[in-house]
Amino acid sequence: GDSVTQMEGPVTLSEEACLTINCTYTATGYPSLFWYVQYPGEGLQLLLKATKADDKGSNKGFEATYRKETTSFHLEKGSVQVSDSAVYFCALSDSGYALNFGKGTSLLVTP
């Protein structure tokens, strides 16, 4: 079945450091790919998405490119801020009915 694997955290970075969170997937079809973010005590918010190969999703300085050849959707940001501290989830949807999530990566950015 479909599955998502993302790097385990926690990840601790200093403010203005570069961020990469790795995400790879397994799917039988051509899924849509997502990154969701969960701030402390809150629900999940969509951060960015890509619906087909080579699409690049971007939002709030974060980017991820849908790489079909490597089945990857790595999240990147050039300069993180303290306010980016959160848990990040990679997810895919093949059927459209629901999402398959990775286990989440906790990010802590220190001043």
- Per CB under 8 A, residues contacting other proteins are 4, 32, 34, 36, 42-46, 49, 51, 89, 93, 96-99, 101-104
Q: With respect to other proteins, which residue has the nearer C-beta, 30 or 81?
A: 30
Closest contact distance (angstroms) between CB of 99 and other proteins is: 6
The β-bridge partners of 59 are 62
Rounded Cα distance between 65 and 18, Å, is 16
Q: With respect to other proteins, which residue has the nearer C-beta, 96 or 111?
A: 96
Structure tokens at 54: 């080579």
Rounded Cα distance between 111 and 109, Å, is 7
